[in-house]
Amino acid sequence: MRMPEHRPAAAFALAFAVLSVGASYSSLLVAGGRGPNLGVHILRPGSDPRALIVSGQTITIDVGLSNLRGDAAAHDTALMVHVPSGLSLKGFRPAPDKSETVEDGLRLTWNLGVMEAGAFPRMFDLDVQAAADLKMGTELAIEASVSTTDKVVDEGNTRSNFVLLVENGAASLVIQSNLDSVPFTVDSPVDFTVEVTNLGTVAASACALKMTVPARATFTSSDPSPSSQSGNVIIWELGDIEPAQSRSVKVEVALDQILSAAAYGFAPKLSRLNFRFDATTATDVLNPNGGHREIARRPEPAGSNVAVALNVAGADYPGVLPVGRDATFEIVYGNFGNAPASKATVALTLPKGLDLVGATPATAHSNNNDPSGASVSSWDLGDLRVGESGVIRSQVRVTAIGRDGSLVSAAIAAEGKDVPSRQKTAYSLQRVAAQSDVGVVGTLPRSPATGGGRSARWILIAIVALVVIAALSVVRVIRRGKPNA
């Protein structure tokens, strides 16, 4: 008998599933467990692997049995499959040795004899049909188990089940597109893909995709070519789409040159472009509104867009550095443009009194010749891909802080066409940690000129003393019954 085309793929999938859980078997071998390790798995082969079925529909289920992870043969092996009530058996390959009706369905048995160590999955196909009167939401559990006269390594692999869920017979079209992530610039055409997927349970017939292009954008080409075009509305006839299958269209549009100003934020009224997509079918659909999607994009300047941020770790309070201790300055960098950044570099400028003692990664260059006493350390980042980011951690020893604080800065630059932005340089102003900063959250540092906290304590003590003396005088007046002289 000719082997069905789906069986090699199903056997490979089952073998992969067996190998993917090999860690548990390895741990058992370390503990001394050796022997056959039978595994049984159930899946739905073909283009639609989902556990869905429609009333009256016939589908194929594959049961796979293997000893792939065993290091000994399994003797007197038997495979048993239970088909529940609500499913009728329409075919099987190979034929079972025994078929018997039980209270809640049908039980099939295959006597397989010896399964050698390392045996790849053997496939057993079942064609099952759902009863015509099943209600949506009904669950139908197909169960499989394997037995042997030998002791298996892992009993947990000898049983499996596959629960079919009854759904309505209808199509369900969903639209996906990478338009929201591709470069959206005036300088070059915008290329993107639109994909229509049928997530329903029956084939969607006579499918079509309609795209409405916004003003200031022009449709230039597509693959496949459109079936029709009227102004800014383009339509593609996609034909029939089977369940869990997709049709895709590659589209190219061009943006109006007037949007160049909007790309840099100078014309906000022109900046939002809204694309509309609608998928239709002649078949009844589960979600009438599911075949609609809108994607809005704003024009962006072409090129890389490197940016940097600066954080401080190891300080007790934000913006406060204790003299005599180390702090870590974290430089977060990245390329947030739509083109790779070429030969990117980052520089960290530390004012006098802050000394770099280590960095991860190590610095490429250091310069202490600034007239103000500041030091500049730099890193060569090389080329940064679109979206690539990283962190540089610099250990800094605090030996002194300026009277008005110490301003630390980090800057990033790249060669070629890099978009100008405010995120090329980041600053962090740090001040000295005073005694009153330690142990009291929210306390301001005392002023060296006035004595700060010490003077405030003496003033508070004096006020309390005056209040106590006044209270004692009132008590004396009341006791004497006459006014105080």
Name which residue leads in pLDDT, 26 or 57: 57
| Alpha-carbon gap, residue 43 to 39, rounded angstroms | 13
Block residue for tokens 């350390």: 377
Of 289-303, 398-412, 431-445, the poorest mean pLDDT is in 431-445
The owner of tokens 């300047």 is 301
- Residue count of the chain: 485
Residue type at position 168:
N
Domain 306-437 annotated CATH 2.60.40.1510: yes
DSSP, residue by residue, 14-75:
HHHHHHHTHHHHHHHHHTT--S---EEEEE--SS--SSEEETT-EEEEEEEEEETT-SS-EE
- 306-437 and 173-297 share a CATH fold: yes
Q: Is 270's pLDDT higher than 80?
A: no
Answer for the pair 121, 18: CB distance below 8 angstroms, yes or no.
Answer: yes
Q: In this predicted structure, what is the pLDDT of residue 7? A: 58
| Structure confidence by residue, pLDDT tens digits, 83-127 | 999 999 999 999 999 999 998 999 999 999 999 999 999 999 999
Contact present, 178 and 194 (Cβ < 8 Å)? no
Give the span between the Cα atoms of 207 and 185, in whole angstroms: 31
Which residues, including other chains, have CB under 8 Å from residue 251's CB and lie 6 or more apart? Answer: 191, 192, 193, 194, 211, 219, 221, 222
Q: Are 272 and 298 in contact (CB under 8 A)?
A: yes
Long-range residue pairs from 368-375, CB within 8 A, at least 24 positions apart, any chain: 374/349, 374/350, 375/349, 375/350
- pLDDT of 164-215, one tens digit each? 999 999 999 999 999 999 999 999 999 999 999 999 999 999 999 999 999 9
Query: Phi/psi of residue 249, each to 5°?
Result: -130, 130
Contact assessment for residue 363 and residue 411, using Cβ atoms and an 8 Å cutoff: no
In terms of C-beta density within 10 A (0-12 exposed, 13-18 middle, 19 or more buried), how is residue 32 classed?
exposed
pLDDT at 2 over 60: no
Q: Choose the CATH number for 173-297 among 2.60.40.1510, 2.40.50.100, 1.10.420.10, 2.60.120.10.
A: 2.60.40.1510
CB atoms within 10 A of CB 446: 17
The more confident residue out of 140 and 470 is: 140
- pLDDT band (50, 70, 90) for residue 27: very low
Look at residue 318 in the predicted model and tell me its pLDDT. 82
Find the mean pLDDT for residues 14-25: 46
CA 190 to chain centre: 25
Q: What is the pLDDT of residue 263?
A: 79
Regarding beta strands 292-297 and 233-241, do their DSSP bridges make them parallel or antiparallel, or are they unpaired? unpaired
Return the pLDDT at 32.
40
- C-alpha 478: how far from chain center: 78
Provide the 3-class DSSP secondary structure of residue 468. helix
CATH 3.10.20.30 fits domain 6-167: no
Decide if 291 contacts 280 (C-beta within 8 A): yes
Q: From CA 76, how far away is CA 146, in angstroms rounded? A: 10
* Percent of the chain whose pLDDT exceeds 70: 81
User: Mean pLDDT over residues 300-312, rounded?
Assistant: 94
E-assigned strand segments in 302-362: 306-313, 320-321, 326-335, 341-350, 354-360
Q: How do the domains of the chain map onto residue ranges?
A: 6-167, 173-297, 306-437, 450-485
Q: What's the confidence (pLDDT) of residue 482?
A: 46
User: How would residue 382 be classed by pLDDT, with cut points 50, 70 and 90?
Assistant: very high
Rounded to whole angstroms, what are the CA distances from 217 to 190, 249, 267, 456? Answer: 10, 18, 16, 69
Looking at the predicted structure, is the pLDDT value of residue 451 above 90?
no
CA dihedral 67, 72, 75, 77 (to 10 degrees): -10
> pTM value?
0.69
Higher pLDDT, 305 or 25: 305
Identify the residue with better confidence: 14 or 366.
Answer: 366
Residue 470 burial by Cβ neighbours in a 10 Å radius (0-12, 13-18, 19+): exposed
Contact between 309 and 427 (Cβ < 8 Å): no
**pLDDT above 50 for 21:** no
Name the pLDDT band for 484 (thresholds 50, 70, 90).
Answer: very low
Measured at the CA of 144, the angle between CA 36 and CA 16, to 5 degrees, comes to: 60
- Angstrom distance (rounded) from CA 235 to CA 232: 10
**Average pLDDT of every residue of the chain:** 85
